[in-house]
């Protein structure tokens, strides 16, 4: 029987952030494929896990994928982990998972820590729709072009960014996207965890120095420029809904149309409608 490929999420900082199931699988598989064997060994040693490890990173991904697929086909159970978080999320793993699936091999995902979700739920920005864009381009021109493409997206924007580029990225984001609410989530789950909230211009000033921007960084940006958000608030959604209902739309359709006209999601429109009717 062919083996199973397990995609295992590991802690992004705090070693306690791993599931019992993940620990069991890491003990039971025949081999663990990891970005940095030395880094993963720290986690395994912490939990007394003696499973064999092999490297699987950007520089050997192609050839190592072939080796691991052959092992899986011969009955070897393999777990893939990244240095931190969930494999394939801005980390190696996509090629192996994709080709294993294409060959009909069993792939089992073990959910767990990922920095983008931890940052999102702690940010205070809308969570109903979000877009994860990974790392923005390092060159300013390419970065600004990418931000321009994302400007009209009706979702909370989430990026990973390197400390030495965060100041330039915040400046470009402010110029391209306009003034928006934003959050820097830094060193999540670690001793120096920080969640900084403010406008893009404020965060650009706050993190202008590299000394302020050490560690792993997640940047989150609200979907709506502040001036547009304020303009939408001036308009009374309850009156809009009532007007559309008077035109013959049912309540659900009227709310959807009002949300679209105000540039809101349906959930946001519903919350605002309830709030207005409660006043």
Query: Average pLDDT, whole number, for the chain?
Result: 91
| 108: Cβ contacts below 8 Å, ≥ 6 apart | 4, 5, 6, 7
| 229: Cβ contacts below 8 Å, ≥ 6 apart | 222
Instruction: Identify any residues that bridge with 160 across adjacent strands, giving them in sequence order.
Output: 135, 218
Q: Is the pTM above the cut of 0.75?
A: yes
- Is the Cβ–Cβ distance between 82 and 93 less than 8 Å? yes
pLDDT at 196: 95
pLDDT at 278: 65
pLDDT at 270: 83
CA 174 to CA 81: how far, in whole Å?
A: 35
**Does residue 209 have a pLDDT over 80?**
no
**Does residue 263 have a pLDDT over 80?**
no
Q: What is the mean pLDDT of residues 239-268?
A: 84
Tens digits of residue pLDDT in 198-207: 999 999 999 9
Tens digits of residue pLDDT in 76-116: 999 999 999 999 998 899 999 999 999 999 999 999 999 99
Q: Which of 37-41, 207-211, 268-272 has the highest mean pLDDT?
A: 37-41
Nearest to residue 153, comparing CAs of 172, 180, 118, 129?
129
- Sorted by where each starts, the structural domains of the chain and their CATH numbers stand as 4-113 (3.40.1010.10), 116-225 (3.30.950.10), 235-278 (no CATH)
Q: What is the mean pLDDT of residues 62-66?
A: 95
72 — pLDDT class (breaks 50, 70, 90): very high
**Does residue 232 have a pLDDT over 60?**
no
Calculate Rg over the CA atoms of the chain: 23
Write the burial class of residue 52 (CB in 10 Å: 0-12 exposed, 13-18 middle, 19+ buried).
Answer: exposed
pLDDT at 257: 86
pLDDT at 238: 83
User: Token pair of 181, please?
Assistant: 């609410």
**Does residue 234 have a pLDDT over 80?**
no
């Amino acid at each position: 029987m062919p083996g199973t490929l397990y995609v295992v999420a590991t802690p992004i900082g705090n070693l306690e952030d791993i599931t019992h199931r993940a620990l069991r699988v890491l003990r039971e598989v025949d081999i663990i494929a990891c970005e940095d064997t030395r880094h993963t060994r720290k986690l395994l040693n912490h939990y007394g896990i003696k499973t064999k490890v092999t490297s699987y990173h950007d520089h050997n991904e192609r050839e190592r994928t072939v080796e691991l697929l052959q092992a899986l086909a011969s009955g070897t159970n393999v777990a893939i982990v990244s240095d931190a978080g969930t494999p394939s999320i801005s980390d190696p793993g996509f090629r192996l998972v994709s080709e294993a699936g294409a060959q009909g091999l069993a792939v089992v995902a073990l959910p767990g820590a990922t920095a983008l979700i931890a940052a999102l739920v702690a940010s205070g920005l809308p969570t109903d729709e979000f877009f994860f864009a990974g790392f923005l381009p390092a060159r300013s021109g390419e970065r600004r072009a990418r931000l321009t493409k994302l400007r009209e997206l009706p979702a909370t924007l989430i990026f990973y960014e390197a400390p030495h580029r965060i100041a330039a990225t915040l400046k470009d984001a402010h110029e391209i996207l306009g003034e928006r609410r934003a959050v820097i989530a830094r060193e999540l789950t670690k001793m120096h965890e920080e969640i900084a909230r403010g406008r893009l211009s404020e965060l650009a000033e706050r993190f202008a120095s590299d000394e302020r921007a050490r560690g792993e960084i997640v940047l989150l940006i609200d979907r709506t420029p502040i001036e547009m958000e304020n303009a939408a608030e001036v308009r009374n959604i309850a009156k809009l809904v009532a007007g559309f209902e008077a035109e013959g739309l049912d309540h659900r359709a009227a709310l959807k149309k009002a949300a679209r006209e105000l540039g809101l999601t349906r959930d946001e429109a519903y919350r605002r409608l309830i709030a207005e009717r409660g006043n």
